[in-house]
Amino acid sequence: MLTQKQYQLLLYIDKHLKQTGYSPSFDEMKDALSLRSKSGIHRLISALEDRGFLRRHHHRARALEVLKIPALEQSVPEKQKSVLPENVLQGVFSEPQRAHEMPAMVSVPLLGRIAAGLPIEAVEQPDNSVDVPISMLAAGKHYALVVSGDSMVDIGIHDGDTAIIQECQSADNGQIVVALVDQHEVTLKTFRRHGRSVALEPANSAYETQIFSADRVRIQGRLKTIMRHYV
C-alpha cells in the first residue's frame, strides 16, 4: 500500500521520465506535490525505494528508475475499502518488462553532433541511424543528435549522450530544444521567450544564459528522450 503522496510522486516521476528521458529535479517534484520543502521529497523517495517501487542510481545525478506502478484495485469490497485510511492506496502492481518482451523499435536518423556547451555547427551523418523504442516517441518525425559538451549536466544530459528530438518549429517556455542560431550554429538548451528576445539557458552554473533577438533563433525540435551507452 502507498500513501496518496507516494503514489502521486511515483506517477509524476514516471511521466517525467517518459516525456523527457531524465528524472525531475527535487524542486520540480516539490512543486508538483505542493510541498513546502525538499526534505518531504527525500522521505517519499526513500519510502518508495524501500518498498521496491523506485531505484536510485547513486553514481548519476538525478537518476531515478521506476520499477513498478500500482494500479488501483477495483475489486476491493466496499466494506474493506472503508476500513483503510483515506490517504492509503491499495493496489495490484505491474511488473517491469521482462527481458524476452522486447519493445517495438524504430530507426531514427542520426544527423550529427550538437553542442550542450557553446553553439557548434551540426555535422551531417545521413547514413547513420539509432534504434529507439517506439514508446519513447511522440507523433511526427524524429531525429537523433549526439550531445557534445557539459552545459546541461545538471538535468542529466551528458557529453556523448544521444538526444532523440521531435521535429518541430515552436516550443513552450521551459522546454529543451534544438535551436539554430544565425542560420548555422546549433545548440541544445532550455528555451525561454522574453518579449522580442529569446533566452537559451544552460543547466550548469559554469555557463551563462545566451540571449538573442527572436529573429536570430529558429526552433528545429524538442527533446523527447536521452539515450546513454555504458562500456
Residue 104 CB partners (closer than 8 Å, separation 6+):
133, 134, 135
Tell me the residue range of the domain where 84 lies.
2-94
Rounded Cα distance, 147 and 48, in Å: 32
Which one from 46, 151, 170, 205 is the annotated catalytic residue?
Answer: 151
- Write down the pTM of the prediction: 0.54
Establish whether 46 is a catalytic residue: no
Same-domain status, 86 and 111: no
pLDDT of amino acid 174: 93
What is the residue-averaged pLDDT of the chain? 78
Which CATH number belongs to the domain containing residue 6 in this structure? Answer: 1.10.10.10
**How many domains does the chain contain in total?**
2
Tell me the per-residue pLDDT of 158-214, one tens digit each, with 9 for 90 and over. 998 999 999 999 999 999 999 999 888 889 999 999 999 999 999 999 999 999 999
Same-domain status, 211 and 112: yes
Rounded Cα distance, 166 and 122, in Å: 16
pLDDT of amino acid 53: 86
Q: Could you tell me if residue 100 is inside a domain?
A: no
**Interval 61-69 mean pLDDT:** 78
Which one from 34, 189, 197, 205 is the annotated catalytic residue?
Answer: 189
Tell me the per-residue pLDDT of 66-116, one tens digit each, with 9 for 90 and over. 888 876 443 333 433 433 344 444 444 444 444 444 457 788 888 888 866
Distance from first CA to last CA of the chain, Å, rounded? Answer: 38
Establish whether 151 is a catalytic residue: yes
